Homo-oligomer: A and B are copies of this chain.
Amino acid sequence: MSYPLVSTMPHHVDRYRLPLFTTEFGAVLRDVEIAYETFGTLHRNADNVILLCHALTGDAHVGDDADRTGWWGPLIGPTKTFDTEKYFIVCANVLGGCAGTTGPSSPMPGLTDTYGSTFPSITIRDMVETQYSLLRHLGVSRLQAVVGGSMGGMQALEWGLCHPDFVLRAAVLAATPAFSTMAIAYNEVMREAIVADPHFHDGNYDKYGVFPDRGLRIARMLGMITYRTAQLFAERFGREQTHNDRTAMFQIGSYLRYQGDKLVRRFDANSYLALMKAMDLHDIYRGRGQAHEVYEAYHAKLLFVGIDDDLLFPAKQLQQAALEAVQCGVDALYAHITSKFGHDAFLLEFEQLDAILRGFLAR
| Shortest Cβ gap from A346 to chain B (Å) | 20
- Which among B178, B193, B256 is the interface contact of A185 at CB below 8 angstroms? B256
Known contacts A188-B253, A250-B184: does B222 contact A178 (CB below 8 Å)?
no
Q: Which of A232-246 contact B (CB under 8 A)?
A: 233-234, 236-239, 245-246
A203–B218 Cα distance when bound, in Å, is: 18
- Which among B233, B250, B283 is the interface contact of A280 at CB below 8 angstroms? B250
| Shortest Cβ gap from A184 to chain B (Å) | 5
A270–B249 Cα distance when bound, in Å, is: 17
B245 touches A286 (CB 8 A): yes
Q: Mark A167-190, 1 if CB is under 8 A from B, else 0.
A: 000000000001111101110110
A239 touches B277 (CB 8 A): no
Q: Mark A243-286, 1 if CB is under 8 A from B, else 0.
A: 00110101011001100100000000000000001001101001
B192 touches A239 (CB 8 A): no
Taken together, the copies of this chain in the complex come to 2
- Which among B191, B198, B230, B281 is the interface contact of A182 at CB below 8 angstroms? B230
Q: Which of A204-234 contact B (CB under 8 A)?
A: 214-215, 217-218, 221-222, 225, 229-230, 233-234
Q: Kindly list chain B residues whose C-beta atoms are within 8 Å of the C-beta of A248.
A: 121, 277, 280-281
A233 touches B182 (CB 8 A): yes
| Shortest Cβ gap from A53 to chain B (Å) | 21
* Residue contacts A-B, CB under 8 angstroms, 14 given: A178-B239, A181-B233, A181-B238, A182-B233, A184-B239, A188-B257, A189-B222, A192-B257, A196-B214, A196-B215, A198-B198, A230-B314, A245-B286, A248-B277
4 additional A-B pairs beyond A181-B250, A185-B256, A196-B197, beta carbons within 8 Å, are: A181-B238, A185-B225, A196-B196, A196-B215
